[in-house]
Amino acid sequence: MPKLIPDAKKNILTTARRLLLEKGYSGLALRDVANLSSVALGTIYNYFPSKDMLVASVMAEDWHKSLINMNKACYEVMTIEEGIRIIYDSITDYIEIYKFVWNEYRGVTSGFGEHHKVLRNQLSNQLVEILKRFNNNEDEQLCPLITETILDCAMQNDIPYTVLSKMINRIFK
């Protein structure tokens, strides 16, 4: 029977996140994560079948925290544009943390399309909620397109938010 270690998964994720941010994807060694988490290497594999899954879990946990914070902040907005700014800033903050991982790790393309759709749907749902707060239900069908534009602007970093803001204000006059 395997030995049960309290909070092992949480400790592994915390340690992996710290090492990932310090050393990058290629510098992250599962053996180091195990040693610093005070678990056997096999314990990591009980929770995460590969280094890729561990990194994805770290990033997903941080994205989930970003979504929670975004939801709370968007609930307080006074305008649609302010809500979109919160979504945009949340995306750029997350990208800033992990852009070096994406630049270093080229294998993410295998499931990129499906992951991108999930991300777009999460953000689009947030935008729908903002529109509902301002009694603007007739524009809900635009949310996936607007969300894609917000994502692109945040990720490419060559179109400033001021330009995006002008577009948003014209759409939602």
Mean pLDDT of 53-63: 93
pLDDT at 4 over 90: no
pLDDT more than 70, % of the chain: 92
Encode pLDDT of 71-81 as tens digits.
999 999 999 99
Q: Where are the domains of the chain?
A: 1-49, 55-171
Q: What digits encode the pLDDT tens for the residues 15-52?
A: 999 999 999 999 999 999 999 999 999 999 999 999 98
Q: d(Cα 158, Cα 113) in Å, to the nearest integer?
A: 22
Mean pLDDT of the chain: 89
- pLDDT of 1 reads 47
In the predicted model, what is the mean pLDDT of residues 48-58? Answer: 92
Q: What is the pLDDT of residues 96-122, one digit of tens each?
A: 998 888 777 655 445 666 778 889 999
Average pLDDT over residues 154-164: 88
Sign of CA dihedral 159, 116, 81, 83: negative
**Residue 157 falls in which region: left (phi positive, over 0), alpha (psi -120 to 50) or beta:** left
Q: What was the pLDDT predicted at 9? A: 94
**How far from the centroid of its chain's Cα atoms is residue 47's Cα?**
21
> 150 is written with which tokens?
């917000």
* Topology given in CATH for the domain delimited by 1-49: Arc Repressor Mutant, subunit A (1.10.10)
| pLDDT higher than threshold 80 for residue 167 | yes
Per-residue pLDDT at 6: 73
